[in-house]
Every structure is written in structure tokens, then in C-alpha cells.
Amino acid sequence: MKKLIKLYLLLSLLVFLVAPFTVEAQSNNVEFQNEITPPPPPPADTSGDNTLTGRLKNVGGSAGYTTDEAIASTPRIVGVIVGAFINFTGLTFIVLMIIAGYVWMTSNGNEEKIKKATTTIKAAIIGLIVSLSAWAIWNFIFKALIVGSQ
């Protein structure tokens, strides 16, 4: 029976590893691919801005790249970092809940394991509340103070 379970697990793992390679997501239509051409690069800016930022914009502009100040500003970059951290705490909550649920389900009535699992669940919920509060505070600060001042 154990060999049969191992065989099923091995086959399902093999299916999950091989299945993505069987999907053809790329178009084989050559006419459609030839229609897509990149836009021509904008002319180089010769305004004479001799600062480092100005020179980088001139070089990037002549190569066809432009910098949108609203996208690459420091508050936006900080916002992306804070958002990633808050998303990571949400992922941590889910992992802790799964672990605590597994410990509780496999405790077989052992009071010590059940107490450990409930303590983990309480800590995960408190962490989620703190994380959601941090998100609400960050969202208020970002929208009211940083975006509103621009």
C-alpha cells in the first residue's frame, strides 16, 4: 500500500513538473509577429543640462528610453517596498495558520500540542491585525501626505 501511495505521489509530481512544458503559449503566426515593430527612438535632447541626471536623461532619450518622474519617484519606490513587506506578513499569517492547523489536527488529543497550536493561531491573528493596521496607516500617509503634496 505504501509503495502504491509513493507511486501516485511520484506520478503526480511528474505531471506537475512536465505539464507546463506541454503548453504552447507563443503564436506561430509569422505575419502577426512581423507587424510588431518597435517605435523609433526620440531625438536626443541637446538642452545642455550638464548635471548627472540631465546627462543620463540625454543618453537614455537618445536610446529610446524615457523616465516618468511620477513612476520613478522616491515615495513610489518606498511605497513598493512597504507594500511588499506588508504582503510578506500576510503570507506569513497564512503559513502560520496552516502549520498550527496541522499541529492541532495531528495532536491526537494531546493537550500540550493543542495549547501550542492555539497559541500559534492567536499569535498569527494578532500579527495579521498589526499588519492590517500598518497597511491602513501606510495607505493614509501615502495618499494624504505624499501623493496629495505633489
Report how far residue 48's alpha carbon sits from residue 56's, in angstroms, rounded to the nearest whole number: 12
Give domain limits for the chain.
Answer: 69-150
More confident residue, 148 or 115: 115
- pLDDT level of residue 85 (50, 70, 90 thresholds): confident
- pLDDT level of residue 107 (50, 70, 90 thresholds): very high
**Mean pLDDT value across residues 70-96:** 79
Is pLDDT above 80 for 20?
no
User: CA 138 → CA 40, 56, 89, 134, distances in Å?
Assistant: 40, 32, 14, 6
Q: 1-37 b/e with 16+ CB inside 10 Å = b?
A: eeeeeeeeeeeeeeeeeeeeeeeeeeeeeeeeeeeee
